[in-house]
A and B are shown apart, each in its own frame.
Chain A
C-alpha cells in the first residue's frame, strides 16, 4: 500500500512537472504596469566595459492560448492594416528576420507602447498592457521566434465566406429578399 502511495505521488509530481506553460490559460490579467528594470539594448556597441546583455522574456512567449489571443487582437486592433498578416506593406514585414528596433520581447513591447518614427503609432494607454504582451508574443511567432508547439496554425478569422455547398437561405415568402446594403 505504501509503495502504491509513493508511486502515485511520484506520478503526480511527474505530471505536475510536465504540466506545461504552453497549455496554461490565465484569464486574470497582469497588473497594469509591468515595470521595466533596465532598457534593452538595440546594439552591442557600448562605451567602457560592456555590461551583460539583457533579454527579458515576455510573460506569454510560450503560452499557446495567449498567443492565439494576440493573433485575434492583432487583427482586431488593425495591426494587420499596415503589417498585413506578417508580410508587411505599409509597415515593415514581421515574418522575416530583420528587426529594425530589436526582436527581444521588451523591444517589441516598447515598439507597440511608444511607437516608432515613420508611422508606427504609440498604443500605450490605449491598449492595455496585458494585451500588448499577448500581441508581442504573437508577433514573435510570425518570424519563428516562439516554440513551434505553441505557435498558432492557420487562422479562421478572416471574414467567413459562404461555403460552396451552402444553399442560399430561402427567400422570405411573400416578398423579394431585401438586401439592405
Chain B
C-alpha cells in the first residue's frame, strides 16, 4: 500500500543516530551495553559455579573476593559516571552563532512549528513537520500552553519536556539527509499515542527553497471548483480554527493550513497526506483519532469535493 511506505521510510530509532548528539548517546549506550552484559554474564557464571561447587570455600578467601567485587563495581560505576558526564557536556556543546531558530509549541495533540525571524513577515508557521538543513545547528524553543508534552526525535537527540510556564531550549543537528519521525513522549491525554511529527533533514539549498516557498501566501484557487472550496472554507466552520495566509481564514486554534498540500502527513503524523485520507479526516476525524478537537462536518459530496480541490491547491 502506498500510504504505508509514505510513513515507513521515516527513521525512528535511538540506535540509528543521524546527528552528533544522538551519535554521542549511541556511543554511551554501546559502552554501557557491553560492560553491563559482561557484568551480567560474570554474575550468572559465578552463581552457576557456586551452585555446582561442592566444597566449602575458605572464609578469608571469600571475604577478599566479595570485597574485590564491590570495589570492581564501584570502579565500573566511576567509569560510567565519567562517560556520562562527558557525554552530557558534549551534548550541551552544540551551538552556533547562526542557528536556524524554531519555536515548537505542543498542543493537545499536535505540534505547532514556527520559524523565527527578526522580520515578522519572514516568519513561517507550519505544523507537525520540521524541515532542517543538514550540518547546521538548530535552536528549538519549546513552549506549551496546555499540558506537559515531550519533544523527542530519537534519531537526533533525547527528549525535552515542554512544561507550561517553563520555556525550554534544545539544540539539534542532523548530519545526513533523511526523514526522521518524532513523537510526544510524555503522557498528555487521550491521543498521546497519535502525536507524532516528522523532521525532514535536507541539503541547505533545498531547505532554503522550502523556506522561501513557505513564506509565500497561499496560491489563489486555480479552478472554479477550488474557488468554491475556498468560499466554503472561509464561510463555514473551518476558518474559525484554521489559518490560510492570503485568505480571510485566520483562526489560531488548529494548525496553519497555508501550505497543507506540501506536508507529508495529516493529524500529527497519523495519516499520510492523500486526498482520500484528507476527506476521511474532514468528514469523520473522531473515528480516526477519538477526542481530538476537530469536530465532524456534514458536507455534501459536492461541497467536500470542492473543499478538497481547494486544500489540494495549498502547495
Contacts and interface: CB of A to CB of B under 8 A. Distances in A.
A45 B139 CA distance: 67
Contacts, number: 73
Contact of A162 (B123, B144, B167, B253): B167
Contacts of A77: 240
B97 A175 contact: yes
6 smallest beta-carbon distances between A and B, as pairs:
A32-B298, A173-B95, A27-B290, A160-B164, A163-B165, A169-B169
A160 B169 contact: no
B296 A130 contact: yes
Interface residues of B, number: 37
Interface in A152-181: 156-157, 159-163, 166, 169-170, 172-175, 178, 180
B12 to A, nearest CB: 27
9 contacts: A25-B190, A28-B296, A32-B298, A125-B236, A160-B144, A160-B164, A161-B165, A163-B165, A172-B139
B96 A128 contact: no
A94 B47 CA distance: 73
A127 interface: yes
Interface string A142-155: 00000000000000
Given A27-B290, A28-B287, 11 more contacts: A27-B291, A28-B286, A32-B298, A128-B237, A160-B165, A169-B141, A169-B169, A170-B169, A174-B97, A175-B97, A180-B120
A172 B94 CA distance: 10
A76 interface: yes
A29 B240 contact: no
- Give chain A's interface residue range (CB within 8 Å of chain B): 20 to 34
A125 B237 CA distance: 7
Contacts of B139: 172
B164 A156 contact: yes
A126 interface: yes
A69 to B, nearest CB: 8
A166 B166 contact: yes
Nearest to A175: B97
Interface in B86-135: 95-97, 99, 101, 116-118, 120, 123
B206 interface: no
A131 interface: yes
Contact of B145 (A131, A159, A170): A159
Contact of A180 (B117, B146, B165): B117
A119 B289 CA distance: 37
Nearest to B123: A180
A170 B168 CA distance: 9
Contacts of B295: 29, 128, 130-131
Interface in B276-315: 286-287, 290-291, 293, 295-298
A174 B286 contact: no
A76 B167 CA distance: 22
B169 A172 contact: yes
Contacts of B237: 125-128
Interface in B60-103: 95-97, 99, 101
Given A25-B291, A27-B286, A162 B236 contact: no
Contacts of B95: 172-174
